Structure 1
Amino acid sequence: MTSLVQNLTNLEELALIDINISSTVPESLANLSSLKSLGLIGGGLYGRFPTRIFQLPHLQDLNVGGNENLTGHLPKFHTNSPLKYLFLSGTKFSGDLPASIGNLNSLIEFQISNCNFSGTIPNSFSNLTQLTWLDLSQNSFNDLSWFTRPSSNDILPHFEYLQLADLILTKFPVILRNQSRLRQLDLEGNNLQGLIPKWMYNVSKESLQDLSLSNNVFLTGFENSPAVIPWPNLENLYLDNNMMHGSLPIPPPSLRYFLVSNNSFIGGISPFICNASSLEVLDLSYNYLSGMIHPCFGNLSQSLSTLILRSNNFGGTIPKTWAKGCLLRMLDLRQNHLQGHLPISLANCTELEYLHVGRNQINDTSPFWLGTLQQLKILVLHFNSFHGAIRSSETNCTFPNLRIIDLSHNHFSGNLPTGYFTQWDAMKSNGNLYYLSSSVYFSITMVIKGVELEYKKIQDGLTVIDFSCNRFEGDIPENLGNLKGLHVLNLSNNAFTGHIPSSFGNLTQLESLDLSQNKLSGEIPPELTQLNFLSKFDVSHNGLTGLIPHGQQFGTFENTSFEYNRGLCGRPLSKICGDSDISTPPPSTSFEENQGPKFFFEFGWKVVVMGYGCGFVFGVVIGHIVTTRKPNLVIKIFGKKQRQTQIKVNRRK
C-alpha cells in the first residue's frame, strides 16, 4: 500500500473497498494534503491507524470500517476540520471520545458500532447540530447521561438514524422527546425496564419507519396499552425477546416486518391485522396467543413471505384461503392445537420452501399434492394423526428440492412406493453448505443420532429422512440408495420386512442409520462398511441373521446396535457364529462390582471350579457306598422327608 500512494501527491479520492490488502496503513497517507475522501473498507488492514490522517486539512469522508484488526484512537479535533462522514464500525478503535469532537461542526454521520470505545459521551455532542446519523452500538461506555439528562440549554442534533444498541441503557433516552425527524431508532439489547412511556408515542410520529426494542428482557409492554401501534408510517417493528404482556397491538397498514416472538402476549389475533396489506414477515412465536387463525391471513399471501405462529395455543383449522399468486416462502405452525386437514390451497404457494406443522392434532391422509411445490426444501409433519398410504404426485415433479422430510410419529401405513424417491434430486448430491434463510432463519428440531437437537440455523447441505414411528410395511425401496447426499435416515419403529438394501452402501455421506424395531430379515449387507461417516447405527429388534460385518465404522458400534436379532452373531455380540444356541445371552451380572477388583474375581472362580470338581468326585464315591451297602438308610432319610412334605401340603389345604 505504501508503494501505491507514495507518489500520488495530488490524490483527492482513494477507495479500496473489500480488497484484501492485508497491510498496515502507511504514515505517508497523512502527507496527502489534497485528500478529500478515504475509503479502506473491509480490506484486512491491521496495526495502528495513523492519527494524523484524521487531521488532513481537506478530508471530508473517512471510512475504515470492517477491518477487525485495525486499532487506533481519536485525536484532538481542530475547529476548522471539514470532516462530514466518519465511519470506524467493526474495528478495534478504543479509548474515550474526546470533548473536542464537538469541534466537528460539519459532521453529518458518525458510526463507531462494534468497537472498544469507553468512558463518557461528552456534552460537546450537543454542538454537532448537523449530525443526522449516530451509531454508538456495541461499545463499553460507562456514562450515558448525555442521552438521559440533557441540559435544557442544549440545542440538540435532529437525528434521522439513531442506533444505541447494546449500551446498557436502563431508561428511554430523554433526548428522544425533541426528535421529530427520526426514521430509524435502534435500542435493542439494552436493559430498558417497565412500560414504553406514553410520551414515546409522539416521538417522530410521522417519520419513524424502523423501531427495534428487541432483547430488553425487562420491557413489559406499552403504557395505556394502545390498541394500534402509535406510529402510522412504521415499516419495521421488532419487539422480540422481552417480557411484554397483554393483548397483541394491531400494526399500522404500512408495516412490513412485525416480530414479537418470545413474549407473553395473550388472547386472539385481531382480524384487523390483515389490514397491513404490505406485511412481509410476521413472527408471533413463543407467546400465549389463542383462538383461531383468521381466514384473512390467506388474503395476505400476496405480500406475506414468512408466517411463524409456532408454540402458541391456536386451535381450529389452518386457513384454506391461500390464493393463486401466493408468495409465502415459510410457514411454521408447529406446537399448537390445530386440527382438521392440511389445506390443499397451499399448493398455490409455489414459492414455499419451508412447511412445519408438527406437534398439532391434524387428522389427514397423505398430502401427496405437496410434491408439486418445486421449491419446497423442508417438510415436517411429525407428531400428528396423518394416516393411510403414501401416494406419489401425479406430476413428474415430486420434491425436486426437498432436503429434510420428517413424517415421524403419525399413522402412515402401507408400502413406500418405489417411484416416490425418484425425483428427489437435491438429496442425490452433497449440496453447498450455506444457510437456508429468508427474512427469519429457518429452524427445526429433529432426532439426530438418537438425540433430539434444535437447529436454529439449517445448512443447505443437511439432508434428512425420518419416517420413524409409523405403520409402514413391505420392503425398503432399493432406490433409497440413490440419495447419495443423505446424512440421516430413520425408518425405525415400523413393520418393514425383507432385507436391508445393499444399495445403502452408496450413501457415502450418511452419519446416522436407524432401522430398529422392524421385521427385517437376512444379513447386514457388507457394503455398509464403506460408510466412513456413519457414527449412529441401529438394527436392533429385527430378525436379522448371519455374521455382523467388520471394518471401518462397524468396529465402533456397541452391542445395543445389534441386540434382539436371534440370528446375528459375531462382535460386538457375545454370540459366536456357529453356536447352536441361537438365543441371545443374558447380560452379565454385577458380580465384579459387588465383589471388588477384577483380580479377586478371577481368583474366586478358579477356587469355585476346583471345589466343585473335588466335591463331585467325593459325592459320587460316597453315594455309591451308601446306596449299595446301606439302602435302608437312604429309604429312611428320603422317605421321612417326603412324608413331612406331604403333611405340610395337607395342612395348607
Structure 2
Amino acid sequence: MGLSSICLFTIFIRLVFPFFFFNFTIANFTASSMPPLCHDDERSALLQFKENRISGDFYAWKFDCHPTMASWKPEEGNVDCCSWDGVHCNKNTGHVIKLDLSHSCLFGSINSSSSLFKLVHLEWLNLALNDFNSSEIPPEIINLSRLSYLNLSGTSLSGQIPSEILKLSNLVSLDLSLNDVPGGRLELQKPSFVNLVEKLSNLKTLDLGDVSIRSMIPHNIANLSSSMIIFLRNCELQGRIPSSLGNLSKLLHLDLSLNELQGELPVSVGNLHSLAELDLSANFLSSEWPISIGNLSSLKELDLSQNRFFGELPISMGNLGSLKELDLSQNGYVGPFPVPPPGTIHYLASNNNLTGEIPSWICNLNILESLVLSHNNLSGLLPQCLGNFSDELSVLDLQGNNFFGTVPNTFIKESRLGVIDLSHNLFQGRIPRSLINCSKLEFLGLGDNQISDTFPSWLGTLPNLNVLILRSNIFYGIIKEPRTDCGFSKLRIIDLSNNRFTGTLPSKSFLCWNAMKIVNTSELRYLQDVLSPYGQTSNDILSTYDYSMTMNSKGRMMTYNKIPDILAGIILSNNSFDGAIPASIANLKGLQVLNLQSNNLLVELTFLEFFNVSDNHLTGLIPQGKHFATFDNASFDGNSGLCGRPLSKGCESNETPANEDHTEGSEESLFSGASDWKIILIGYAGGLVAGLVLGFNFSTGIIGWILEKLGTQQKATRRRRRRRN
C-alpha cells in the first residue's frame, strides 16, 4: 500500500468512524430509554375485561358517563395498551400498574373469573360510578396484593365484604361507599369493623359510607393513626363515640352522620387540632354545646344538625375563626342568636328555639352565601342591611319566626339571591320594590304575614321566578291584564289564596305563563339552590338547599319539604274573584293543581271536550246547567253519593252534601257542595283539557312516592359528580 493510500485510509478513519460510532451510540441510548410495550398477557386481560363490561350509549343516559374502553382498539394498530385511555404502565417494566375506569359506562356482573384479577401488578384501581349489577366483591381481589389505592364507590355492589380485602396490607386509600342499591348493600360484619381497623392500619383514607356495619365504633380505631379522611356516613353505627377517636391526630375530615350514635361527644375530640370537617348530623347525640369543639381551631365545616343538643350556644365562637360552614339545625338550642366567625359562608340554625333579634353584626358577614334561621322564636325588626350586606348571598330563609315591621327595601342591583322566604311572620307594609334588582330570584315566599299591597305585576320581569307565595296577607284589588310584555314566563307555582283580590281572573296572563304549558317528565328534579362548598374535599351535606312550601287542600295544609319541578299549580282560593273561569287555562297543559274554591266564579267550562269522573268517592249535587248538561250518565258512573241531573237519582231538598275526607291514595270528594267542586286538577286529551279530579292526593301521593324513591339516588349522584371533580 502506498503512502498516499495510507493517508487516505487514516483520514477516512478519523472523519467517518466517529460519525458511525456516534450514531451507533445514540441508537443504543434511544433504544434503552424508550419505554417497553405492555405485556401481551396484560393486554389480553384488559381486552377480555372490556368485552363483557361496556354498554356504550345504553347506559350513558343514566350517569352521563364516558365509555373509556371504547378507545381500546388494537386492530387499528394501537397494540400498546400502555397508551390506552385509563391505563398507566411502569416506565421500566411495562407492567400495568394503574387502571382508572371511573364513570366509564361499565355494566354487568363481576365474578371470580374476571380477567381483571390477572393484572397482578396493579397498584391503583378506580372503578367508581359504574354498575356491577349487585355483584359481590370476589375473594380473588387478593390477587391484587400490590394495591395501595382501591375505589369501588357507587358500583352497585352488595353482600359481605370478603376477608381477603383485609390482606391488602399496602392499602392507603379504600373507598367502598355509595353501594346501597335495591338489590342490597355492602356489609362489613364477617370480617368486622374491628378486624378491618386491625389489619389495614396504614390507611390514610377510609370511606365506608352506606356500608352496613351494625356495630359500635371500635376502641381500636386509634390504630388508624395515619388516617386523614374517615367517612362512615349511614353505616348503622350504634352506641357512644369512643374517646380513643381523639388519638387520630392527623385527621382532617370526619363524617359520622346518619347513624344511631348516642350520648355526649367525648372531650378527647378537642385533640383533633388538624380537623377541617366534622359532620355528626342525623344522630341521637345529646348534650349542651360541646366545649371541646372550641379547641378545633382548624375547623372549616361543622354540622351538628338533627341531633338532641340543647342549651344556650356560646355568644362568641371566636376560637372557630376558620369556620366556613356551620349547621346547627333541628336541635334544642335556646337563647340569643350566636355570632358566627366573620368568614362564615353558610350559616344554618333552623328548627331550634333561638330568641331575640338578628343583631346588627350580621352586616359584617360580607361573604355569606346562605342564612337559614327558619322556625325559631326570633323577633324584632330586620336589620336594614339585610338586602345588601353581602354580594354573595343566595339563600335568605327567615320563615316561621316573629319578625315584624317592613321588609327592608335595600336589595342591591345584580343581587345573587335565588331564595327569599319570609313567610309565617308579622311583616306589614308593601313588598319592597328593590326586589326588582334580584334578577336571579327563583323562589319568593311572603305568605302568612300582614302585607298590604296590590298584586306585584312588576315581579313578572324577573326572568327566573319559579314560585311566588303571597298567601294569607292583605293583598287587594284587581289583577290587571298585561299590557305589553307578558311576564312570569318561568312561573310554575303561584299561591294568592286568602287575600282580598277582586275582579275577573286575568285570562291573558294565563296565556303568558309558558312554564305551565309544558309537561316535562324526562328528568325528575327538585327546585333547589346549590350551595357552593368551601373546598373540593367537602361532602355534599350542605351542597343544596331545597325549596319548601305548603298548599291548602280543602282546609288542610299539605307540606312539600321538597318541590318537584314537574309540579305546576295555581291557587287562588278564598278571594273575591268573579266572572267566568277563562278558557285560556286550557293552554296550561302542565298544570296539575288549580284551586279556585270560595270565590264568586261561574261554571263555564265550555272548553272541555271530554269529562269523566267515574269510580271515585264523589258525593253531593252535580253542578247544574251550562256545559255539565252535555255530559252523559257514564261520566259519573261508580259514585253512589252523587245526585242530580243527568243522573236519574234526585237530591232530597233537605240533603246536605257530604264532605268526607278519604285516606291518602283515594280521590277526595269532587262535589261536596255548590262551590267545593271548584278545586280541580286539570288534565288534557286531544290537545284540550280532558278531565277534572279533585284534591291534592295526586301531587302529595304519586309525586311524593316518586320523590321518595329518587331522592337518595339523586343525592348520591350529586356526591359522585363532586368526587369525580
TM-score calculated relative to the size of structure 1: 0.76
Paired residue for 1:279?
A: 368
Aligned residue type for 1:550 = D
Q: Is the 8 A contact 2:288 2:309 kept in 1?
A: no
User: Which among 432, 435, 456 is matched to residue 346 of structure 1?
Assistant: 435
Moved more, 59-68 or 414-423: 414-423
User: Following the alignment from structure 2 to structure 1, what is the Cα–Cα distance between the partners of residues 170 and 338?
Assistant: 46
User: Which among 650, 653, 671 is matched to residue 585 of structure 1?
Assistant: 653
2:158 maps to 1:70: yes
2:214 maps to 1:93: no
How many residues in Structure 1 have an aligned counterpart in Structure 2?
545
Aligned residue type for 2:605 = P
Q: Once the two structures are aligned, what percentage of the paired residues are identical?
A: 33
| Superposition pairs of residues 562-641 of structure 1, within 5 angstroms | 569-571=645-647, 574=650, 585-587=653-655
Paired residue for 2:8?
A: none
2:127 maps to 1:35: no
- Indicate the structure (1 or 2) with the bigger Cα radius of gyration: 1
Q: Deviations over 1:131-190 (max 9, x none)?
A: 100112222345656x3256xxx9634111011222414121344222111110011122
| Superposition pairs of residues 245-394 of structure 1, within 5 angstroms | 245-300=334-389, 302-394=391-483
Paired residue for 1:168?
A: 261
| Superposition pairs of residues 25-174 of structure 1, within 5 angstroms | 25-28=111-114, 29-45=116-132, 46-54=134-142, 56-73=144-161, 75=163, 81-91=169-179, 92-95=186-189, 96-99=192-195, 101-142=197-238, 147-149=242-244, 156-165=248-257, 166-174=259-267
1:551–1:186 CA distance, 2 compared to 1 (3 A): farther
Aligned residue type for 1:386 = F
User: Following the alignment from structure 1 to structure 2, what is the Cα–Cα distance between the partners of residues 227 and 302?
Assistant: 25
Paired residue for 1:630?
A: none
2:580 maps to 1:492: no
Paired residue for 2:97?
A: 12
Paired residue for 1:209?
A: 300
User: Which among 597, 600, 606 is matched to residue 502 of structure 1?
Assistant: 606
Shift of 1:588: 9.4
Aligned residue type for 1:135 = F
User: Following the alignment from structure 1 to structure 2, what is the Cα–Cα distance between the partners of residues 11 and 572?
Assistant: 83
Paired residue for 1:22?
A: 108
User: Following the alignment from structure 2 to structure 1, what is the Cα–Cα distance between the partners of residues 339 and 549?
Assistant: 29
User: Which among 187, 191, 201 is matched to residue 284 of structure 2?
Assistant: 191
Aligned residue type for 2:637 = G
Aligned residue type for 1:94 = L
1:382–1:52 CA distance, 2 compared to 1 (3 A): same
Aligned residue type for 1:469 = N
Shift of 1:430: 0.9
Moved more, 343-352 or 188-197: 188-197
Q: Deviations over 1:318-359 (max 9, x none)?
A: 111011111111111111111110111111111111111111
Q: Is the 8 A contact 1:242 1:262 kept in 2?
A: yes
Q: Is the 8 A contact 1:559 1:572 kept in 2?
A: no
Shift of 1:80: 8.5
User: Following the alignment from structure 2 to structure 1, what is the Cα–Cα distance between the partners of residues 621 and 504?
Assistant: 20
SS of 1:452 mapped into structure 2: strand
User: Following the alignment from structure 2 to structure 1, what is the Cα–Cα distance between the partners of residues 383 and 369?
Assistant: 17
User: Following the alignment from structure 2 to structure 1, what is the Cα–Cα distance between the partners of residues 625 and 597?
Assistant: 14
Moved more, 540-549 or 67-76: 540-549
User: Following the alignment from structure 1 to structure 2, what is the Cα–Cα distance between the partners of residues 80 and 482?
Assistant: 63
User: Following the alignment from structure 1 to structure 2, what is the Cα–Cα distance between the partners of residues 501 and 372?
Assistant: 31
Q: Deviations over 1:573-618 (max 9, x none)?
A: 516xxxxxxxx633399xxxxxxxxxxxxxxxxxxxxxxxxxxxxx
Q: Is the 8 A contact 2:504 2:579 kept in 1?
A: yes
Q: Deviations over 1:186-229 (max 9, x none)?
A: 111222222123232112x1x2111000111243343xx32446
Structure 1 residue runs of 5 or longer lacking an equivalent are 506-526, 563-567, 576-583, 590-653
Q: Is the 8 A contact 2:288 2:312 kept in 1?
A: yes
User: Following the alignment from structure 2 to structure 1, what is the Cα–Cα distance between the partners of residues 125 and 628?
Assistant: 74
User: Following the alignment from structure 2 to structure 1, what is the Cα–Cα distance between the partners of residues 648 and 311?
Assistant: 58
| RMSD, aligned α-carbons | 3.3
Aligned residue type for 2:506 = P
TM-score calculated relative to the size of structure 2: 0.69
Q: Is the 8 A contact 1:502 1:528 kept in 2?
A: no
Moved more, 34-43 or 348-357: 34-43
User: Following the alignment from structure 1 to structure 2, what is the Cα–Cα distance between the partners of residues 292 and 394?
Assistant: 37
Q: Is the 8 A contact 1:30 1:56 kept in 2?
A: yes
Q: Is the 8 A contact 1:240 1:259 kept in 2?
A: yes
Q: Is the 8 A contact 1:73 1:94 kept in 2?
A: yes
Shift of 1:310: 0.9
User: Which among 501, 514, 527 is matched to residue 425 of structure 1?
Assistant: 514
User: Which among 565, 572, 584 is matched to residue 467 of structure 1?
Assistant: 572
Q: Deviations over 1:517-571 (max 9, x none)?
A: xxxxxxxxxx2517899998999788768737236764356767x8xxxxx6222
SS of 1:13 mapped into structure 2: strand
Aligned residue type for 2:557 = E
Shift of 1:52: 4.5
Shift of 1:431: 2.4
SS of 1:547 mapped into structure 2: helix
Q: Is the 8 A contact 2:618 2:640 kept in 1?
A: no
Paired residue for 2:693?
A: none
Q: Is the 8 A contact 2:617 2:641 kept in 1?
A: no
Q: Is the 8 A contact 2:505 2:577 kept in 1?
A: yes
User: Following the alignment from structure 1 to structure 2, what is the Cα–Cα distance between the partners of residues 470 and 80?
Assistant: 70
1:553–1:216 CA distance, 2 compared to 1 (3 A): farther
Q: Is the 8 A contact 1:377 1:403 kept in 2?
A: yes
Q: Is the 8 A contact 1:229 1:249 kept in 2?
A: no
Q: Is the 8 A contact 2:240 2:264 kept in 1?
A: no
SS of 1:421 mapped into structure 2: helix
Moved more, 388-397 or 351-360: 388-397
Aligned residue type for 1:64 = L
2:498 maps to 1:409: yes
1:295–1:588 CA distance, 2 compared to 1 (3 A): closer
2:614 maps to 1:529: no
1:143–1:56 CA distance, 2 compared to 1 (3 A): farther
Q: Is the 8 A contact 1:102 1:126 kept in 2?
A: no
Shift of 1:452: 2.9
SS of 2:559 mapped into structure 1: strand
User: Following the alignment from structure 2 to structure 1, what is the Cα–Cα distance between the partners of residues 648 and 329?
Assistant: 51
1:556–1:333 CA distance, 2 compared to 1 (3 A): farther
Q: Deviations over 1:478-507 (max 9, x none)?
A: 32221121111122222234x51322x3xx
